[in-house]
Amino acid sequence: MKDRYAIERELGRGGIGVVYLAHDHQLVDKPVVIKVLLAELGDSEELLWLKRKFLHEIEALARIDHPGVVGALDVGQMPDGRQYLVMQFVEGINLRSAMKVEGMDFARTSRIVQQISHALNAAHDKGVYHRDLKPENIMLQAIGGGEEYVKLIDFGIATVKDSQMATNRQTTAVVGTLAYMAPEQLMGRPMAASDVYALGIITYEMLTGRKPYYPESPYQLYELHKMGVKIKPADLRPGIPDAAQEVILRALSFDPRDRHSCARDFGDEFARALTLGSQIPTYSWSQQEETYVPQRGRTAGPAPMPGRSEIRADLAPLRVVLLYKRNIQPDEQVLILLESHLLAQGHSVFIDRHLAIGVEWAREIERQVRTADAVIPLLSASSVTSEMLSYEVQIAHDASQKQHGKPRLLPVRINYSDPLPDPLAGVLDPLQYALWTGPPDNQRLAAEVTASLRPAATIKPPSKRKLEAVGGAVPLDSEFYIVRPTDEEFCSSIARQDSIVLVKGGRQMGKTSLLARGLQQARQAGARVVLTDFQKLNAAHLESVESLFMTLAELIADQLDLDVMPDQVWNPRRGPSMNFERYIRREVLEKIAGPLVWGMDEVDRLFSCDYGSEVFGLFRSWHNERSLDPSGPWQRLTLAIVYATEAHLFITDVNQSPFNVGIRLVLDDFNFDQVAELNRRYGMALQDRAEVARYFRLVSGHPYLVRRGLHEIATRGTKLVDLEAVADKDEGPFGDHLRRILVLLAQDPALCDVVRGVLQGNHCPTTESFYRLRSAGLMTGDSARDGKLRCQLYSNYLERHLL
């Protein structure tokens, strides 16, 4: 193989194979495509079937010799025994890329459909049924002079009659692309007529810019098949000849026996009907009906959508995006009404109907919304709960703020007058909306939309999203709080009234915000709650274990409004620990009803106190008491302890430590999807997932840095490229945070040297230094050996100052 073919680059890979672009030396360096089985498939039954599928494609292509089907040029085996297939290289675009939301030109549609039908017929004559015919598997190859040839590709799941490699699974498995599958194919009985059906769907889509069905499951599609096509092509595109429409609807018959006897017949009959059949009326604007109407007595040949030549002088063509929830009525009825009306006025209309789901699909949706002149979301009881519609509205809102009101948001409510849920409410509540309650509103709605699109129309600009300061605990009602898996575990532990719940995480991880939410949940469930923030205690409070226990008891008494204060029952002869325990048991737990949750934040301050082990040993003893006395008062006490530093560095006696019992949770940084979600809540400060990825590489999932940067972009309109340029500067948006890190390191020369070594590619020299840096929020990792600086921003900044 290597003597004949020179691999240029990888084109893509799937579950069983990888595809390369190569040059064939024997054919004067002609470009070819080589598909090779993956080496790591193994020998499971599933993967052996996939190998047979690969060989099956080879047999299918070897049988067909037609210019409309990609040709198989060579087959063979790699030195390691893997099969490879060499095919023609088709330079061009797939049919999906050529399709238009307003429908394709009649003449071009006719030529393409006829070529597809002839290529399919050649395959059927050889006993090969494609089974996955769709626009993505139809290539258009330009040959000069404006002409293009069709090439059918991807016969990987084709049925090959009398194949030596066919199995029952190969011939009857329900495989293919749902929206293009015929009823009998859904039942595992594919045939030539199934490909004719798929071609009928494609033809419908080429003319109208949409499919007749948008199924979400095979069962739903089967039921739609039985009901038949409800929306005829001419309903979407006036001007399609009746005869051409009938050819398409016949190809979409439920019973395969009612379809055309062969694919060629369908293509030829459709081409004749479209180009030579019914005469096509032209359209002119009717002032009375506020729409374009057919002009009697005037005819023309096949043409694009009606009304292109007669646009109202006071309404220049605009780019309009219609947002809706698929497969919902009457939403789709209103969608078609507005689409037809806008197209008739000469506007360009984008509707997400037929783009393949994936990264490119997401990017195209965002591009269309951001570059539109107007975005019209259709709001119904069903659609307002759609996350996708909400996301698209948010993109439009963000673009409008940054682009001086473009696009305009023009909401249409469909028989729905209830309050909008968040986040739609925050964007759409300030705006005027149009209301549709039934077909009698059609004409009025179309007129209102037309009026709203006029330049003189006064549309209230979208309101600015209310942002909140970044730093410290995130408010309980904040929409910017991101729920992580640890949240659920922590709240579940509080709800179960576990004895000790431990939450560990580096600095600025969101530990305090998590604690606040767990305590709020406890209050709502009827528990009594106290909170001690050890960071607020001064030196006098921490002077001795006696002063600490007295301070804690007073804080608890004050928060619970107890009648008996600790100094009233404190007996110096008992000792600090016994006094404190006696007070909690008698004056707290026995005097209040129900469970008590004691939240402790920043308990790290006790690690450096010489009496720290005594305090934590007391907490551990209460945990033990629950096991020894199931009916005792300690059953009603839950300690929720939040800390950053590795406790075992300071508590050497494990029997005196509460940090190795109870529920132990670790709060991690945000992952990529959580950063993307937070970006959405900031009104798409970062414009797309590519920008989110760049931002994630800079700050990783550091909760404070993520929010701080997004807040900067959202409030100041800063572009990501500008933020990146100043991110690691002392005067930049993260300057205060970065300078604090430098000051802390400067106070500990030994740790400073450790960081220098890490920046130079060395490991942390000791476990203790690694844990200290991780607790401070500077490093991540599980051990000194795999520890690294927490984000690229830290690396950039510290390199400039320490190296």
- The per-residue pLDDT for range 126-163, each reduced to its tens digit, is 889 998 999 999 999 876 555 678 999 888 778 887 65
Residue 529 reports pLDDT greater than 80: yes
pLDDT at position 283 is: 34
pLDDT at position 173 is: 52
pLDDT at position 196 is: 97
Residue 31 reports pLDDT greater than 80: yes
102: closest CA among 406, 307, 369? Answer: 307
**pLDDT, average across residues 655-662:** 65
Residue 803 Cα distances to 217, 224, 732, 758, 798, angstroms: 59, 68, 20, 11, 8
* Cα separation, 611 vs 547, whole angstroms: 11
- The per-residue pLDDT for range 718-742, each reduced to its tens digit, is 889 999 999 998 888 888 788 878 8
Residue 366 Cα distances to 393, 689, 720, 773, angstroms: 10, 10, 17, 41
Angle subtended at Cα 220 by Cα 325 and Cα 362, rounded to the nearest 5 degrees: 40
Structure confidence at residue 657 as a pLDDT band (50, 70, 90):
low
pLDDT at position 716 is: 82
Strands 159-160 vs 280-286: parallel, antiparallel or unpaired: unpaired
**pLDDT, average across residues 232-247:** 90
**pLDDT, average across residues 243-256:** 94
The share of the chain scoring above pLDDT 90, in percent, equals 34
pLDDT at position 290 is: 36
* Cβ–Cβ < 8 Å for 658, 615: no
Structure confidence at residue 655 as a pLDDT band (50, 70, 90):
low
Alpha carbons within 13 angstroms on the beta-carbon side of residue 427 total 30
* Cα separation, 695 vs 709, whole angstroms: 9
89: closest CA among 24, 183, 41, 36? Answer: 24
Provide CB contacts within 8 A for 264, sequence distance 6+.
117, 118, 120, 121
Provide CB contacts within 8 A for 540, sequence distance 6+.
547
**pLDDT, average across residues 679-708:** 90
Q: What is the mean pLDDT of the chain?
A: 82
pLDDT at position 171 is: 45
User: Which of 521 and 353 is assigned the larger pLDDT?
Assistant: 521
The overall longest dimension of the chain from CA atoms, in Å, is 113
**DSSP characters over 495-561:** HTT-SEEEEE--TTSSHHHHHHHHHHHHHHTT-EEEEEEGGG--TTTTSSHHHHHHHHHHHHHHHHT
Residue 168 reports pLDDT greater than 60: no
pLDDT at position 743 is: 73
**pLDDT, average across residues 353-368:** 64
Residue 81 reports pLDDT greater than 50: yes
* Cα separation, 229 vs 252, whole angstroms: 8
Angle subtended at Cα 229 by Cα 223 and Cα 232, rounded to the nearest 5 degrees: 160
pLDDT at position 687 is: 84
Residue 430 reports pLDDT greater than 70: yes
pLDDT at position 159 is: 83
**pLDDT, average across residues 645-661:** 54
Backbone phi and psi for residue 2, each to the nearest 5 degrees, phi listed first: -65, -20
pLDDT at position 231 is: 87
* Contacts by 75-80, CB closer than 8 A, 24 or more apart: 76/1, 78/1, 78/36, 80/39
Mean pLDDT lowest among 238-242, 352-356, 416-420, 714-718: 352-356
Give the chain's radius of gyration (CA, Å). 35
- The per-residue pLDDT for range 744-802, each reduced to its tens digit, is 787 788 889 999 999 999 999 998 888 888 877 888 888 888 889 989 999 999 998 88
- List the structure tokens of 171: 């011939």
Residue 91 reports pLDDT greater than 90: no
pLDDT at position 646 is: 54
- 538-557: b (≥16 Cβ within 10 Å) or e: eeebbeebbebbbbbbbbbb
Provide CB contacts within 8 A for 699, sequence distance 6+.
705, 706, 709, 791, 792, 793
Q: If you average pLDDT over each of 23-37, 469-483, 748-762, which comes out highest?
A: 748-762
pLDDT at position 29 is: 64
* Cα separation, 727 vs 699, whole angstroms: 10
* Cα separation, 56 vs 166, whole angstroms: 7
pLDDT at position 318 is: 86
pLDDT at position 174 is: 54
- The per-residue pLDDT for range 8-20, each reduced to its tens digit, is 888 877 666 788 8
Q: Tally Cβ neighbours within 10 Å of residue 599.
A: 23
pLDDT at position 461 is: 38
pLDDT at position 302 is: 32
* Cα separation, 437 vs 353, whole angstroms: 24
Backbone phi and psi for residue 175, each to the nearest 5 degrees, phi listed first: -130, 160
pLDDT at position 353 is: 62
pLDDT at position 49 is: 61
**pLDDT, average across residues 378-399:** 88
User: Which of 297 and 67 is assigned the larger pLDDT?
Assistant: 67
**pLDDT, average across residues 341-358:** 69
**DSSP characters over 597-662:** EEEEE-GGGGTTSTTHHHHHHHHHHHHHHHHH-TTSGGGGEEEEEEE-S-GGGT---GGG-GGGSS
528: closest CA among 561, 499, 551, 554? Answer: 561
Among 43, 65, 105, 132, the one annotated catalytic: 132
User: Which of 15 and 58 is assigned the larger pLDDT?
Assistant: 58
DSSP 383: G
DSSP 250: H
- Which residues pair with residue 37 across a beta bridge? 17
- The per-residue pLDDT for range 538-597, each reduced to its tens digit, is 888 999 999 999 999 999 999 999 999 999 999 989 999 999 999 999 999 999 989 999
**DSSP characters over 735-779:** HHHHHHHHHHHHT-HHHHHHHHHHHTTPPPSSHHHHHHHHHTTSE
pLDDT at position 137 is: 93
* Cβ–Cβ < 8 Å for 50, 15: yes
Mean pLDDT lowest among 6-20, 37-51, 374-388, 667-681: 37-51
* Cα separation, 308 vs 290, whole angstroms: 16
Provide CB contacts within 8 A for 157, sequence distance 6+.
53, 131, 132, 173, 175, 176
Mean pLDDT lowest among 425-439, 451-465, 470-484: 451-465
Q: Tally Cβ neighbours within 10 Å of residue 673.
A: 11
Provide CB contacts within 8 A for 163, sequence distance 6+.
56, 59, 170
- The per-residue pLDDT for range 262-297, each reduced to its tens digit, is 999 999 899 888 865 434 333 333 344 433 344 433
pTM of the model: 0.45
Q: Tally Cβ neighbours within 10 Å of residue 175.
A: 16
* Cα separation, 2 vs 84, whole angstroms: 12
429 is known as an active-site residue: no
pLDDT at position 494 is: 92
pLDDT at position 781 is: 86
355: closest CA among 367, 347, 373, 341? Answer: 367
